[in-house]
Chain A
């Protein structure tokens, strides 16, 4: 158990709560940098995917986990980013400009989607963003002069100043740096007035409005920021796989993003990364354990989606805080050792009407 005396208000919003936290994060970053030395190319490529998806989930976490706005169309932002970057680089723009451009365009579309979101709460918003996702998907298929339709597009690996990120290890350092920048940006947004306004909106819109927070400003801002990160992640995705077609940006991908943040743990940046890692590593785990499963189950193509679905259900029923929640409980158990009480993390239930007053 650690006792803390606070001497100034600023201590509440420090980026690292304790000095030791900074040390551990530094150790983690160094550890991550050294990983490609010990892992083979295949595992590094999975790590690449994890970092890439983590960028998108951190963005989605800002929107869904911290501002409370459900987006079921995040694959569309992801797709806009991927296609923008692919088209711009094919027209000769360097990657280092095309990637932010992809993010910015996705962000602009995010503002556009955020505007109707002002009038819509919860479920309506989920449905509207889903519709938006379908429309973007159809545009990607039909705008053949730009996107090459269902045939898909070939994309070059990224290069910055003549240096090509064409091996998995090179690409790993690129995504890792971008992921760290993303996390730092998200963390800083969250401790700024903007972030606290977002959290206030999540907890009670009416109360937030009463405190003078402009719904319009912060909701659109949350959408734009989140779409920006999704766009950047999409750009990386395009350049990593070097081939994209509209099939990669369907509603199932949007659901996968949501599954990631739920399994990881809503309302924590850690959760976004845990969730992305979990969902990316799950198929690998399935492949590895296939030999030990009964043949009847192992041969099923539906095994992976069935497990996704089951995981979402089980996590929501039994551990709504996700993997991050499990981690926090374990940590708390050891900190409080003989005095741990199960009721500490008991959820508060709200029986008043939420959507339909």
Chain B
């Protein structure tokens, strides 16, 4: 019975970290679907989100939920500015250039965070309403922090689903991701769609950072955790929104299981082994559609 409990707890903590991978992967996928760019700086959005929340809660004493909202808005604005200043001039350039640009951006943001007074290279934490609270169910002890991540991810996914399904601009975004030219002919402002995509995806990254912070603490290098969202996105089939979440969950659970039951070291590379295996066996991922190349 104890083994069962242990497995359930491991899986649950895997699911919660997987939710964060999923959220970051969702950020990649949204941008990729709309603009065919991969944002390697998505992990750095998490860093900024976590640091802003830390500043708001610990330094300024703002309550958690207000801080969450403010950070999301701030990150959204940041994403919008980023798109306008840095990425829009590059529309039509080779993909490689844009990828390198986002890598440079990530590099810059990480260094910038270490230079902001009060942030620096130290590790921080902040109190959330879930800190130190647990739920006991029989012999099972679950921490609220992990549960909160799962519940909030679920809520976010529902909101996003409704947004893409029922709002005009959401439908416009889906149309743009299917065919930009046709979308322009239908009177959709593609520039506005791009800008909104970056806004949403930066905000998602920020929320990911806030949720991750109680688990791994706030640190300049927490953006590297965001790199694990790549295997998640690839596993789900780059370009599939449910795929990103499912991929994130699978990666998260595998990782936490291999952390407990495999020799040390496997935990860190489990995600990458899955990634390479998927790319060799089924490059289109679980939910992706293999599209034929036309000249």
Q: Are the C-beta atoms of B230 and A356 separated by less than 8 Å? A: no
Cα separation A124 to B290 with both chains bound (whole Å): 14
Q: Are the C-beta atoms of B291 and A357 separated by less than 8 Å? A: yes
One digit per residue, 1 when the CB lies within 8 angstroms of any chain B CB and 0 when it does not, for chain A 297-317 equals: 000111111101111110011
Q: Are the C-beta atoms of B103 and A134 separated by less than 8 Å? A: no
Q: Are the C-beta atoms of B99 and A312 separated by less than 8 Å? A: no
What are the residues of chain A within 8 A of B32 when measuring CB–CB? 123
Main secondary structure of the interface of B (DSSP, over half): helix
* CB nearest to B265 among chain A residues: A142
What are the residues of chain B within 8 A of A258 when measuring CB–CB? 100, 103
Q: Are the C-beta atoms of B101 and A134 separated by less than 8 Å? A: no
User: In angstroms, how far is the closest chain B Cβ from the Cβ of A293?
Assistant: 13
User: In angstroms, how far is the closest chain A Cβ from the Cβ of B112?
Assistant: 6
Q: Are the C-beta atoms of B107 and A309 separated by less than 8 Å? A: yes
Q: Is the C-beta of A185 less than 8 angstroms from some C-beta in chain B?
A: no
Q: Is the C-beta of A127 less than 8 angstroms from some C-beta in chain B?
A: yes
User: In angstroms, how far is the closest chain A Cβ from the Cβ of B264?
Assistant: 8
What are the residues of chain B within 8 A of A309 when measuring CB–CB? 104-111
Q: Are the C-beta atoms of A317 and B283 separated by less than 8 Å? A: no
* CB nearest to B103 among chain A residues: A255
* CB nearest to A307 among chain B residues: B111
Q: Is the C-beta of B10 less than 8 angstroms from some C-beta in chain A?
A: no
Cα separation A243 to B45 with both chains bound (whole Å): 36
Q: Are the C-beta atoms of A126 and B275 separated by less than 8 Å? A: no
Contact of A306 (CB < 8 Å), options: B111, B227, B295 = B111
Contact of B275 (CB < 8 Å), options: A119, A128, A255, A356 = A128
Cα separation A124 to B107 with both chains bound (whole Å): 21
One digit per residue, 1 when the CB lies within 8 angstroms of any chain A CB and 0 when it does not, for chain B 17-44 equals: 0000000000000001000101000000
Cα separation A320 to B92 with both chains bound (whole Å): 13
Please report the total number of A residues contacting B with Cβ < 8 Å: 52
Q: Are the C-beta atoms of A356 and B114 separated by less than 8 Å? A: no
What are the residues of chain A within 8 A of B227 when measuring CB–CB? 130, 251
Q: Are the C-beta atoms of B294 and A357 separated by less than 8 Å? A: yes
Q: Is the C-beta of B94 less than 8 angstroms from some C-beta in chain A?
A: yes
* CB nearest to A353 among chain B residues: B36
Q: Are the C-beta atoms of B265 and A138 separated by less than 8 Å? A: yes
Contact of B293 (CB < 8 Å), options: A206, A310, A349 = A206
Q: Are the C-beta atoms of B103 and A131 separated by less than 8 Å? A: no
Q: Are the C-beta atoms of B114 and A354 separated by less than 8 Å? A: no
Q: Are the C-beta atoms of B272 and A134 separated by less than 8 Å? A: yes
Q: 8 Å CB contacts to A: which residues of B99-131?
A: 99-101, 103-115, 121
What are the residues of chain B within 8 A of A123 when measuring CB–CB? 32, 38, 95, 99, 238
What are the residues of chain A within 8 A of B114 when measuring CB–CB? 300-302
Contact of A138 (CB < 8 Å), options: B92, B95, B230, B268 = B268
Q: Is the C-beta of B171 less than 8 angstroms from some C-beta in chain A?
A: no
Q: Are the C-beta atoms of A349 and B92 separated by less than 8 Å? A: yes
Q: Are the C-beta atoms of A303 and B101 separated by less than 8 Å? A: no
Q: Is the C-beta of B8 less than 8 angstroms from some C-beta in chain A?
A: no
Q: Is the C-beta of A17 less than 8 angstroms from some C-beta in chain B?
A: no
Cα separation A119 to B280 with both chains bound (whole Å): 8
Q: Is the C-beta of B279 less than 8 angstroms from some C-beta in chain A?
A: yes
Q: Are the C-beta atoms of B275 and A127 separated by less than 8 Å? A: yes
Q: Is the C-beta of A282 less than 8 angstroms from some C-beta in chain B?
A: no
One digit per residue, 1 when the CB lies within 8 angstroms of any chain B CB and 0 when it does not, for chain A 104-126 equals: 00000000000010011011101
Q: Is the C-beta of B239 less than 8 angstroms from some C-beta in chain A?
A: yes
* CB nearest to A70 among chain B residues: B96
What are the residues of chain A within 8 A of B279 when measuring CB–CB? 116, 119-120, 124, 127-128
What are the residues of chain A within 8 A of B94 when measuring CB–CB? 350, 354
User: In angstroms, how far is the closest chain B Cβ from the Cβ of A137?
Assistant: 9
What are the residues of chain A within 8 A of B252 when measuring CB–CB? none
Q: Are the C-beta atoms of B265 and A305 separated by less than 8 Å? A: no
Take A131-B272, A134-B268, A357-B292 as given contacts and tell me if A306 and B112 are in contact as well, using a CB distance cutoff of 8 Å: yes
Cα separation A88 to B295 with both chains bound (whole Å): 49
Take A316-B100, A357-B294 as given contacts and tell me if A302 and B111 are in contact as well, using a CB distance cutoff of 8 Å: yes
Cα separation A256 to B271 with both chains bound (whole Å): 24
Q: Are the C-beta atoms of A131 and B231 separated by less than 8 Å? A: yes
What are the residues of chain A within 8 A of B140 when measuring CB–CB? none
Q: Is the C-beta of B151 less than 8 angstroms from some C-beta in chain A?
A: no
Contact of A128 (CB < 8 Å), options: B92, B100, B106, B276 = B276
Q: Which of A123, A259, A347, A351 has the most chain B CB within a 10 Å cutoff?
A: A123
Cα separation A258 to B283 with both chains bound (whole Å): 25
CB pairs A–B below 8 angstroms (16 shown): A70-B96, A119-B283, A120-B279, A123-B32, A124-B283, A126-B99, A255-B103, A302-B111, A305-B111, A306-B108, A308-B108, A309-B111, A310-B104, A354-B36, A356-B291, A357-B294
User: 18 additional contacts, CB 8 Å, given A123-B95, A124-B283, A251-B227?
Assistant: A116-B276, A116-B279, A122-B95, A123-B38, A127-B279, A135-B272, A135-B276, A142-B264, A259-B100, A301-B121, A302-B110, A308-B104, A308-B111, A312-B107, A351-B91, A354-B36, A355-B36, A357-B294
Question: Closest 9 interchain pairs by CB?
Answer: A309-B108, A312-B104, A349-B92, A309-B107, A306-B111, A131-B272, A302-B111, A302-B114, A305-B111
Chain A interface (Cβ < 8 Å from any Cβ of B): 64, 68, 70, 116, 119-120, 122-124, 126-128, 130-132, 134-135, 138, 141-142, 206-207, 251, 255, 258-259, 262, 300-306, 308-313, 316-317, 320, 347, 349-351, 353-357
